[in-house]
Amino acid sequence: MTDSDPGLHLPGTSAAEHLPPVYPERAAHGTAGTLRAWQEEAIKRYLAAAPRDFLASATPGAGKTTFALRLAAILRANHTVRQVIVVAPTEHLKSQWADAATRAGIRLNPDYANSDGLGYGNHYHGVAVTYAQVAMKPVQHRLLTENTDTLVILDEVHHGGDALSWGDAIREAYGTATRRLSLTGTPFRSDDAPIPFVQYAPQGDGSSISLTDYDYGYGRALADGIVRPVVFMVYAGKMRWQTSAGEEMEASLGEGNTKDITSQAWRTALDPAGDWIAKVLKAADRRLTEVREDIPDAGGLVIATDHASAKSYAKQLREITGEQVALILSDDTGASERIDEFSRGDSRWMVAVRMVSEGVDVPRLAVGVYATSSATPLFFAQAIGRFVRSRRRGEVATVFIPNVPTLMQLAAELEKERGHVLEGPGSAEEMWDAEAALMNAAEKEDKASSELLEGEGFVYQALGSDAHFDRAVFDGAEFGGYAEVESEEELDFLGFPGLLEPQEVKALLQQRQARQAKRSATKQGILEHAPDRAEAPEALHRTLGEQRKLLSSLVGMYSKVSGEPHKDIHTELRRVCGGPAVPQASVTQLQKRIDLLRRRLRP
């Protein structure tokens, strides 16, 4: 192995003074520039502390790769380390890291395989490997690390806790490394598995939270003009599906249903054969057309749950656009080539199954469709990170999401900083018990109905779906209201420019909302008292628990009038209105029963 990098360090001067001003992300597009302020700040903090372990958390698109490689060049120039090893989540990212490292004066071998043993070529300064690769032969990677002073860069370090075996392997392989630099854009995980080489601080409730050595969040990056502002286009609609017992369920996205009902309604919305996803894809393509007026090469990405759905979405987009669609189904060499080809080109759409949710740099992505059932904060943050990478100030990202409570909360809290929390003894169980107690209390309001469906499972079969524009979410605020697909109201929100400053985005959304409310008021003949937000027809404002209580009360009233037992009344309501027993019924189904009883109770 050699360490001959002419010009990296001159005697009598600091290494940092003579580093080439390479900016890998921009260099990929034919330009170069100096470090961003946060990158310089983070490097200075690192060099002042000279720690063995350093965790840097920076929002996707901020330039973590540039920061890490510039720091690696400094550490090689001052002879702190000689070898650099990058551990990445996917095969595609190995090549991406190697390309960026070349522009920083560091030669990494992305094709190194476990079968190569301890040799990877004297002309390289190190290797790029995957977490899975390390987990297969941790001892070999430990020996490779111990050959010389080594800096290990752990990209998206939370993957070190993906499985117990992975965490153990990472500790085994790199426990003796000279320096370890951990990077993440999402410093938390969905479970409570500890992340290797990350420090945790105990909290008062018995849990522990991860400690970062440098944080650069989305809010600060947005203020600095480094990342794009994100506008979420939220679509709702009515869903119908069937259970294994033949019960037909009906629910609308955005209603206060149980988790099971919400999950099944969401899955129905994403069904490739349904109208919901078809209308949302068409609306997203309309938005992309508007964006391409200002950004001619702007592209769109649909993130799908599985291969079958991805293929169907791609087919629908081909029919909508008349163009070929890049389809990414797995993390293989061919997929990497297709991603690179799409990134360099100017075609409209790419459809992928999960793998493009993290680390893959396609800066021209400006419109997204979140068509996956994954709802963890980690995955959501990674997915949205694909659209925030800005090439010039003023670019706006637009992401289409279903009106699902979990996603709505994540969209509203995009700027919120998170830490990886390890639950204390019993804390998770206590939260679960409290939630279960609330559910049990609600479902005990009607014992007769509970008995009718005891032990029945819910096996999903989609029956139909529809879509309407529900609202836009930006900077934690909501704009607009119910709008039919392809109506003037919907087109108002799909048609704003693709180049705007954050403050201009908010002002424009407020204007569109006011115009929508005025148009709605005019239609209703109440122009003098126009509401701030148009309401959906037959809007349902009650929660599921409130509806159960109301239904129970009405059943009691009707029982007194008719003399029928509660159980018989519920049976008749189910026969006439359809749907399962009260504990399993959706907001929409409960409302139908409430309306029927009210009509029967009228004098």
Encoded amino acid at 547, one letter: Q
pLDDT at 524 over 80: no
For 132-145, the pLDDT digits (tens) are 999 999 999 999 99
What pLDDT does residue 358 have?
Answer: 56
Residue 173, classified by CB atoms within 10 Å of its CB into exposed (0-12), middle (13-18) or buried (19+), is buried
Q: What is the pLDDT of residues 221-254, one digit of tens each?
A: 888 888 899 999 999 999 999 977 788 999 999 8
Q: What does the DSSP 8-state code read for residue 199?
A: E
* Highest-confidence segment of 133-142, 383-392, 430-439, 540-549: 133-142
Q: Is residue 242 helix, strand or coil?
A: strand
Cβ–Cβ < 8 Å for 498, 395: yes
What are the backbone dihedrals phi and psi of residue 526, each rounded to the nearest 5 degrees, phi first? -130, 50
Mean pLDDT of 395-418: 87
- Reported as a single tens digit per residue, the pLDDT across 502-522 is 888 989 999 888 888 877 767
Element spanning 439, H or E: helix 427-443
Q: Per-residue b/e over 476-511, b at no fewer than 16 CB within 10 Å? A: eebbbbbbebeeebbbbbbebebebebeebbebbee
In terms of pLDDT, which residue wins out, 30 or 569? 569
Length of the chain: 603
- What are the pLDDT digits (tens) for 190-222? 456 678 898 888 877 777 777 899 999 888 888
Q: Which two tokens stand for residue 297?
A: 């090469």
Which residue(s) pair with 200 in the sheet?
Answer: 210
At 398 the pLDDT is: 97
- Which residue(s) pair with 210 in the sheet? 200
Could you state, in order of their start, the residue ranges of all structural domains in the chain?
Answer: 15-216, 230-416+462-529, 427-459+541-601
Q: Answer whether 8's CB lies under 8 Å from 77's CB.
A: yes
Please return the burial class of 25, using the count of CB atoms within 10 Å of its CB with bins 0-12, 13-18 and 19+.
buried
Do 96 and 361 meet the contact criterion of CB atoms below 8 Å apart?
A: yes
Tokens of 41: 């700040």
Among 180, 173, 172, smallest CA distance to 155 is for 180
- Contact, 269 vs 402, CB < 8 A? yes
Phi-psi domain of 580 (left: phi exceeds 0; alpha: psi -120 through 50; beta: other): beta
Which of 177-191, 259-273, 552-566 has the weakest average pLDDT? 177-191
Residue 304 and residue 351: Cα distance in Å, rounded? 7
pTM: 0.73
Confidence class of residue 473 from pLDDT cuts 50, 70 and 90? very high
Closest CA relative to residue 372, chosen from 322, 343, 406:
406
pLDDT value, residue 282:
97
Quick check: 429 pLDDT over 60? no
Instruction: Determine the Cα–Cα distance for residues 58 and 187; give it in Å rounded to an integer.
Output: 9
Asked whether this chain's domains 15-216 and 230-416+462-529 adopt the same fold, the reply is yes
Integer distance in angstroms from the first to the last C-alpha of the chain?
Answer: 93
Mean predicted confidence (pLDDT) in 115-121 = 94
Of 107-116, 120-129, 219-228, 363-372, minimum mean pLDDT range: 219-228
Is pLDDT above 90 for 150? Answer: yes
Task: Kindly write down the DSSP assignment for every residue of 126-180, as one continuous string.
Answer: EEEEEHHHHHH-HHHHHHHHHTS-EEEEETTGGGGGSSHHHHHHHHHHHTT-SEE
Mean pLDDT of 172-200: 82
| Percentage of residues of the chain with pLDDT beyond 70 | 80
The number of beta carbons lying within 10 Å of the beta carbon of residue 205 is 11
The CATH architecture to which 230-416+462-529 belongs is 3-Layer(aba) Sandwich (3.40)
β-pairing, 238-242 vs 462-465, is: antiparallel
SS3 content of the chain, % helix, strand, coil (to 5): 45, 20, 35
Confidence at residue 523, expressed as pLDDT on a 0 to 100 scale: 67
Predicted pLDDT at 426 = 41
Does residue 583 surpass a pLDDT of 70?
yes
Widest CA span in the chain: 100
Instruction: Give the Cα separation of 426 and 452 in Å (integer).
Output: 34
**Any idea which of 275-279, 311-315, 417-421 has the lowest mean pLDDT?**
417-421
Average per-residue pLDDT for the chain: 81
CATH number of 15-216: 3.40.50.300
370 in Cβ contact with 381 (< 8 Å): no
| Residues in CB range of 480: below 8 A, 6 or more apart | 469, 470, 471, 472, 489, 492, 493, 509, 512, 513, 516, 533, 534
| Mean of pLDDT values over 432-447 | 34
Question: Residue 161: what pLDDT?
Answer: 63
